[in-house]
Amino acid sequence: MSGPTSSFQEIPVIDLALADDPTSLPALLSALRIALTEVGFLYISNHKVPQQVLDSLVDILPRLFALPDSAKKAAALENSKHFLGYSGAGTEITNGQADVREQIEFATELAAISDPNEPLYEGLRGPNQWPTGLSELRPIVEDYISELTLLGERFLILVAQALELPSHTFESFLSDQHRLKLVHYPAVTGSGQGVGPHKDSSGWWTFLLQASPPSVKGLQVLNKAGDWIDVPVIPGTLVVNIGQAFEVVTHGICKATIHRVLSSGDERFSIPFFQGVRRDLTKSQALGTLEDHFSNFRRDAGLESEESKAIDSPFLRGKYDTWGESQLRTKVRSHRINGQKFYPTVYKQYIEDDM
Ligand SMILES: O=C(O)CCC(=O)C(=O)O
Ligand SMILES: [Fe+2]
């Protein structure tokens, strides 16, 4: 199995304030490098996202999910060609089992493309849908997406430096569209699958705000020994993890680590932001751009080659050459009603193509 690269027992906390002083920056970069290459999951503190932007979104979640069904269904994801909107508990399957969570997916606000000459995957672009009866939500979500977009860009500069690359190396991979999910795990009796074990497939990096008090547990990550390690809420931090495209571009040096959420008797809220990869990125660009750097890196770091090289990615395994098409296939497979309705020419092929 390709997974995390070491048997870590806890998730490192990286203090981004160390980047503000050239004398403390090296300590940050070396801690970040270990987190990236040996764990694949980290917390960041002092991330500079304004507290009011975080609080406003966290505070509105209970009211949002308590809206009547009709208000949520006004934004139903199944009506969106762009896979944006509300989906109810049990409609998403991870690892062959239904996830017990309801969620609303938003993205950077973009106009839909109507040019039939554009690739089909450009259908992923498009406007958000908003539930009715909660007009405060839109500015709060839009501010949050703007701030997280900036944080993501700042963070990628540090990641490049930690991996001994020019500071702006990773910018050229970024999409104009990032995605944000507001997630509600209802309380269950006993324990259940909030979301099953998975690697994040939809983005470059994930920045997750755990939006419940520290007493509420649920998120866990898998280490190499096969143990599930808790990722408790640490106030003032965001959890950061690697998405599959980043694993591909770094030739497996940075792993997209497997994680899951267990439901419990406490309801739980969370807010993952998925930094997007440009849809026209091809496999050869993804693999070729930094190939020499990462093969030297592996040798210099003394990493065991076969293990760190094994990359488990549907993007690489699949027959579709662009990130956009591989994303569209993933979305169609998880939201089949949308697939049938909006992508009838490829629906059957994507569903039957198990790779
Ligand atoms: O709810 C969480 O803490 C994690 C959610 C997650 O892993 C995902 O939606 O990809
Ligand atoms: Fe995830």
* Residue pLDDT, tens place only, 303-316: 655 555 667 788 88
Residue 183 CB–ligand 1 contact under 6 Å: yes
With a cut of 50, say whether residue 132 has pLDDT above it: yes
pLDDT at residue 302 in the model:
64
Mutate to test the pocket of ligand 1, among 183, 216, 233 (most ligand atoms within 8 A of CB): 183
| Residue 3, in any domain of the structure | no
Number of the ligand 1 atom closest to the C-alpha atom of 219: 3
Ligand that lies nearest to the alpha carbon of residue 92, given by its number in the listed order: 1
Tally of structural domains, the chain: 1
Ligand nearest to the backbone CA of 181: 1
Q: Whose CA is nearest to atom 2 of ligand 1?
A: 270
The interaxial angle of helices 323-334 and 344-352, nearest 10 deg, is 80
- For residue 353, being part of any structural domain is answered with no
Binding site membership of 208 for ligand 1 (Cβ less than 6 Å): yes
* Amino acid 308: pLDDT: 53
pLDDT at 190: 81
Distances in Å between the Cα of 157 and the Cα atoms of 29, 83, 129, 228, 248 are: 11, 30, 32, 30, 18
Within-domain flag for 275? yes
Residue 132 included in any domain: yes
pLDDT at 245 > cutoff 50: yes
Two structure tokens written together for 134? 């909660």
Map tokens 């399957």 to a residue: 93
- Give the CATH number, domain containing residue 210: 2.60.120.330
DSSP letter at 316 equals H
Residue 5, domain member (yes or no): no
355 in a structural domain: no
Owning domain of residue 67: 13-347
87 CB-near residues (< 8 Å, 6+ apart): 76, 77, 78, 102, 103, 104, 105, 335
Cα of 352 from ligand 2 centre, angstroms: 24
- Over the chain, what is the mean pLDDT? 92
DSSP state of 277: B
| Domain-embedded: residue 7 | no
Residue 117 Cα to ligand 2 midpoint, Å, equals: 33
